[in-house]
Amino acid sequence: MNRKFLIIGRSGQLAHELRRSLAPLAEIETADLPEFDLTDSDRIRAVLDAAAPDLVLNAAAYTDVDKAENDRDRAFAVNADGPGSLACACAARKIAFVHFSTDYVFDGLKREPYTETDPPGPLNLYGLSKLRGEENVLNECDGALVFRLAWLFSTRGNNFVHKVRSWAAKNAVIRVVDDQFGNPSWARIIAASVAVILAGSNNAPKTDLFEWARSVYGLYHLASSGSASRFDWAAEILRRTPVAQERQVRLERAKTIDFASAAARPAYSVLDCGKAERTFGICASDWRRHVSLALEE
């Protein structure tokens, strides 16, 4: 193992799983707040020069979708400008760069899975800031891969799985919307897929990681297979949560309009991952299996 990877956003749910999945492939170094701020471009350059990694993975982001509506400058600094600076600094040093984006770049009006060539149309500032981030990264670095993810969950952090389980611990009835559709994706499986993709670089004709990244440069969708409404997803979580079964917690259907939220969300943001499957030979399995495996932990 003579490669070094730098993971930005150490304590986030995806970064945590990336550290675990990528450890067999390279020496891992991490950077996160407060000692590393993605919005500080001097610090970015200093950290890259000190660490001298072969690859940087940016799993840091401003991920509070509702808060971003009233915190535009910070959301854009972290999600758009920061990744652009990082990509630029990587390109200047010939460091391969992996960045993550979101299904919320889409407006949700399509009713079949979105491909990478579908035009984006974010409904909220988080989605717009992430879209600008993708564009900045791909403009700044010709050795960059951007993976759009969707409906990420893990057994850590304040994600939908955690929320449903804590609602179930306190309430007899839970109401969840059945008019938003996406791909629930376990962060561990996403990280494992990234590990498979990067391991593939070892077999590529170009052994230099930056040259390999140049050969596969671009935007990819990466998610578990199968789609679900938030209601379907909550039902599966409750089915796998013994305390909810014991307490016979009832799940009721609701509509997006029933709940006030600062940010609008796409009604449908299911991702078509065919391009990643064809390019890297990966094969995603069904989200229900991932919920079950995650909750067995």
Ligand X SMILES: NC(=O)c1ccc[n+]([C@@H]2O[C@H](COP(=O)([O-])OP(=O)(O)OC[C@H]3O[C@@H](n4cnc5c(N)ncnc54)[C@H](OP(=O)(O)O)[C@@H]3O)[C@@H](O)[C@H]2O)c1
- Active-site residue list: 126
Contact 144, 92 (CB under 8 A): no
From the list 99-107, 110-118, 227-235, 277-285, the region that binds ligand X by CB under 6 A is: 99-107
Q: Does 13 bind ligand X (CB under 6 A)?
A: yes
Task: Closer to ligand X by CB, 151 or 249: give it.
Answer: 151
Say how far apart CA 266 and CA 293 lie, in whole Å. Answer: 27
Nearest approach in angstroms of CB 64 to ligand X is: 8
Say how far apart CA 1 and CA 11 lie, in whole Å. Answer: 24
| Helix (H) or strand (E) run with residue 176 in it | strand 173-177
Q: Candidates 3, 4, 39, 51: give the one binding ligand X (CB under 6 A).
A: 39
Q: Candidates 157, 163, 211, 217: give the one binding ligand X (CB under 6 A).
A: 157
- Residue 226 falls in which region: left (phi positive, over 0), alpha (psi -120 to 50) or beta: left
Task: Closer to ligand X by CB, 38 or 249: give it.
Answer: 38
Burial (Cβ within 10 Å: 0-12, 13-18, ≥19) of residue 50: exposed
Q: Candidates 5, 6, 7, 14: give the one binding ligand X (CB under 6 A).
A: 14
Which residue has its beta carbon closest to ligand X?
12
Q: Let me know the angle formed at the C-alpha of 192 by 155 and 227, rounded to the nearest 5 degrees.
A: 70
Four-point Cα dihedral 152, 274, 196, 226, nearest 10: 40
Give yes or no for a cis peptide into 34 (omega within 30° of 0): yes
Pick out residues in 47-66 that bind ligand X (CB under 6 A).
59-63
Provide the mask over 103-142, with x wherever binding to ligand X is found by CB under 6 A and - wherever it is not. Answer: x--------------------------x------------
Nearest approach in angstroms of CB 214 to ligand X is: 22
Tokens 């599966």 belong to residue: 236
Nearest approach in angstroms of CB 102 to ligand X is: 4
Q: Candidates 27, 32, 142, 277: give the one binding ligand X (CB under 6 A).
A: 32
Pick out residues in 65-84 that bind ligand X (CB under 6 A).
78
Say how far apart CA 186 and CA 276 lie, in whole Å. Answer: 17
Nearest approach in angstroms of CB 255 to ligand X is: 21
Residues that bind ligand X (CB under 6 A): 9, 11-14, 32-33, 36-39, 59-63, 78, 100, 102-103, 130, 149-152, 157
